[in-house]
Structure 1
Amino acid sequence: MPLEHILLLGAVLFSLGILAVITKRHAVVVLMGIELIFNAANLNLVAFSRYDPSLLQGQMFSLFVILVAAAEAAVALAIVLRVYQHFKTANVNQIVTPEK
């Protein structure tokens, strides 16, 4: 498979992730968009690493990004659950902090 096809798929995933983050208002969908962005970056890292088999930096960095994304997802979902308990909504636009 040529590198251009893999990079095009990465660009499509990245664009869909950005579109989800910008247009959607539900917190879980925004988190899914962020995960799409991480997956697009991982795909590009592994694709570039594939064309130099003696070096594994892209694959190792991709594993590190996957670990960080898993931790981010766990923390972000905990925050979303806490916000839902407090504000009774997961809609990002309806979360309003009280004035002091």
Structure 2
Amino acid sequence: MAKGYWVIAWKSISNPAAVERYVAPATEAILSNGGRVLAGGEPAKAYEQGTATRLVIVEFDSLQQAIAAYEHPDYQATLVHLAGAAERDVRVIEGAA
């Protein structure tokens, strides 16, 4: 079975303090739902149409687990911290088999 991934591109952060309040509970919710944070931070280099904004990649054992983790009430509750504080592009994709 192919793994599932969250690919999160932070488009903008207008309230860094609110984002910091999101990080700990969100990480706990991700880990408790089977996620593994593979990478996170500012890109070392951005090419083509890429932007030098924060990226996060989270791995799950399956696509279904990745979707369920994002939709889980524990993770959804953490998103309140980001309202009006940040804009993100969140995608859930299936890994290569």
TM-score, normalising length from structure 2? 0.30
Higher percent of residues as helix: 1
Using CA pairs below 8 Å that are at least 6 residues apart, which structure has the higher relative contact order?
2
TM-score, normalising length from structure 1? 0.30
Q: Which has the larger radius of gyration?
A: 1
Higher percent of residues as strand: 2
